[in-house]
Structure 1
Amino acid sequence: MAAAGSGHDALPEKQQRALRQAIRLEWLTIGLLVVSATLIYLVMGQSQAMQAALLDDLLSFLPPIAFLVAARVIRIGANRRFPFGHHRSIGAAHLVSATALLLMGGFLVVDSVLGLTAGERPPIGLTVLFGQEIWAGWLMVAVMAATASPPVILGRKKLALAKTLHDKVLYADADMAKADWQTALATIVGVLGIGVGLWWTDAVAAIVVGASIVWDGWNNLTAAVQDLLDTRALTFDEEEHPLIGEAEDLARGTAWVADAEARVRDQGHVFHVEMLVVPVPGHDPTMIELDSLRRQLHQLDWKLHDVQVVPVFDIPDHLRDSGAHATAEGESP
């Protein structure tokens, strides 16, 4: 069996470069969030939409922090207590950040709905800037417009790295960042609505922002829980993974193998693979043959990090059903 070393040992040079770049982007993200949250706090007043935008920024700290912590933990190698290594710290980080998003987003929606039904009318008065009196709402609009673009740009960069690394925490962060312009737009509409006398637009904008956070939290929470429950490994964006079919085809193409199916679990950046193989009738595979197939599977792709080849008399029915389902969807069996 391939040694389940540290996360860095499991990554080829291309992925190691991508990981280092992702770490730099996450530190840059944290720095920008500090500036953004500070500016929003200074100008938000009593606007519910601005308060929701501030909460959105504060929650946006969670994915980069979770990613940075996980990136440190996966450096720890496998040992007797953790025989599979610490790759699943990625999944744990995903679960923590998703849970926080869901809970805080739900709180924001409930609080905003209560404010709307109570008819709360947040005042936005005048403020003095460089000796001139201006409507404070213009400062809010300016801050939201200025802070909307950087996360979107960083989100697109992270999305490419998430694909390279097969990193679901980074993907969740990128997905949230790409949608930040929607938060900014909703907040701007809410503030301008107050300015023209439509007081309710502020609470509605806060509800929209909160609902967006809940949606992100729910999607990421379900994905994180399924991974930790050893669901069939999927791509970083939750699609059927073609690598599983490729591994099964390789095993079935071996001369002494009559049939094969794989049980693949997502360990974080890498996969743990149990390849169940049925030998051709009358053939008893040797250790050399088993190890040769294991090595071929291990070399097929860097994500197939921890590989076992298990001879069996027949393939369990539930794996057959999984393969049929994948075939029906047009994926590799």
Structure 2
Amino acid sequence: MSLTGVVAEPLVDDDLGQGAQRRRTALWIGGLAAGLLVTVVLAVGIGAVGISPGTVARIVGHHTLGSPAGVTWTRAEDSIVWQVRLPRVVLGVVVGAALAVCGVALQAMVRNLLADPYLLGVTSGASTGAAAAILFGLGAGFGENALSASAFLGALAASAAVFVVARAGGRITSLRLLMAGVAVGYALYAATSFLIFAADSAEGARSVLFWLLGSLGLARWGVPLAIVVVVVALTLAALLLWSRRLDALAIGDETAHTLGVPPTRFRVQLLVVVSLCVGAVVAASGGIGFVGLVIPHVARRFVGAAHGRVVPVAALIGAIFLVWADVAARTLLEPRELPIGIITALVGAPFLLILVRRFHSAGA
């Protein structure tokens, strides 16, 4: 098996019947969904001021369902849970799920096991836009949403550049997407570094560096969070709808053609959907690495390589993983907060080494 083969396991599990595989997948999805619910309740209660899971559940139920009617918690606890921690945890759920499923889609799109949302230069584009907003006030017309708007516009510009470069000479292929993404990503990384170097504000430079490594600290109830939730939900729906096409594309262009899936057109559709999704989540949370690389492999280990099973399982695992990574980021060095990208890298880098060792053992 080579690094350019996305399917680590066969798409059809010969040792399990379809019914058994469906039951197995349903068990994983049900268990992970329950685990995500428990994760949300526990994560909201963890912090400098500890709040019991029961109190968290009552506060959330009071705000969402109007029950219980009687208030048995303090105003401070209500503010901490509803205004500070819950939006952050919700953003962690959404961003983790988005990065994981975008990693699944990209690995199928370019048929490379090491592909992730950084591959297409989208994260670098968002970082350049955010750096320009923080250091030079770009996007001031968007008011308090200037950072998110500038990052999103940067991500879209990067996606457009990758599309133009990859399409030069005709059809879009896996190799062209890889090369275009790497080239655009490095160019934008250099642009971001130049902006930091050219800035007069040391505080602004530190803010950019912290944002580049990712943070959920900007999460608040409002339109920006709602937009991210809607974009990620639509992306999940699209990838589930296209799961069989992803299976065909992951095997190879010839197979995709045989099964009636035009590879170039489908890659363009995937590129647009993934770029919009990654741009939205990076604009809200900064650059968070390794989630889109690691989580798809874990999901395939649990339910096989068929994308109809991998996409929902990867979404749930990514959501759980990123919420706990954020808990670690905000509690390990209290009252200081670590960039969440440090935590994901500490977990993801050893996994990547294990993956490389596995390829070596397999003769890749």
Q: TM-score, normalised by structure 1?
A: 0.29
Structure 2 length normalisation: TM-score?
A: 0.27
- The structure with higher relative contact order (CA 8 Å, sep 6+) is 2
Structure with more strand by fraction = 1
